Structure 1
Amino acid sequence: MSSKGVALVTGAAQGIGKAVALRLADDGFDVVVNDISANSDKLDSLVDEIQNRARRSSKCIADVSQEDQVNAMVEMVVQRHGSLDVMVANAGVTGGLSLVEATSEQWDRIMNINGRGTFLCYKYAGIQMIKQGRGGRIIGASSMAGKQAFASQAPYSASKFAVRGLTQAGALELGAHSITVNAYAPGAIDTPLMASTEAATGMAILEMFKEMSPLKKFGVPEDLANLVSFLASKESQFITGQTISVNGGTFFD
Structure 2
Amino acid sequence: MQDKNILIIGASSGIGYALAKSLQDKGATLFTAGRQQPNGVQSTHMTWDITQTPALDALNQLPGVLHGLVYCPGTINLKPFQRLTMVDYRNDLEINVLGAVSALQAAYTPLKASKGASVVLFSTVAAKLGMGLHSSVSVAKSAVEGLTKSLAAELAPFKVRVNAVAPSLTDTPLAESAGLLGDDNKRESASKRHPLNRYGTPDDIASMAAYLLSEQASWITGQIIGVDGGMGSLK
TM-score (structure 2 length as normaliser): 0.90
Report the alpha carbon displacement of residue 72 of structure 1 after superposing the two structures with TM: 3.0
Tell me by how many angstroms 1:205 deviates: 5.0
CA shift digits 1:5-52 (9 cap, x unpaired): 11111111111110011111122211122222xxx2xx252xxx233x
Equivalent-residue separation in structure 1 for 2:210 and 2:183 (angstroms): 34
**Residue type at the aligned position of 1:229:** A
Cα 1:206–1:32 change in 2 (3 A) is: farther
Identity of aligned residues (%): 28
Q: Which ranges in structure 1 are unaligned for 5 or more consecutive residues?
A: 52-56
Please identify runs of 4+ aligned residues in structure 1 that moved more than 6 A: 199-203
1:51-90 counterparts in 2 under 5 A? 51=42, 57-65=43-51, 69-78=54-63, 82-90=64-72
Matched, 1:19 2:18: yes
8 Å CA contact retained: 1:27, 1:229: no
**Aligned Cα root-mean-square deviation (Å):** 2.3
1:221 maps to 202
What is the aligned residue count?
234
- Taking the TM superposition and a 5 Å limit, the aligned residue runs for 1:197-216 are 197-198=178-179, 205-216=186-197
Q: CA deviation at 1:186?
A: 0.8
* 3-state SS of 1:77 partner: coil
Partner amino acid for 2:216? E
Q: Give CA deviations for 1:157-181 in whole Å, capped at 9, x if unaligned.
A: 1001111000000100000000000
Give the Cα separation in 2 of the matches to 1:93 and 1:115: 11
Q: Distance in 2 between matches of 1:171 and 1:204?
A: 41
Tell me the alpha carbon deviations over residues 173-194 of structure 1, each in whole angstroms, 9 at most, x when there is no partner: 0000000000111111111111
Consecutive unaligned residues in structure 2, runs of 5 or more: none
Post-superposition offset of 1:215? 1.8
| AA matched with 1:30 | T
Query: Could you tell me how far apart the structure 2 residues matched to 1:148 and 1:126 are?
Result: 32
Contact 1:198–1:204 (CA<8 Å) still a contact in 2? no
TM-score by length of 1: 0.84
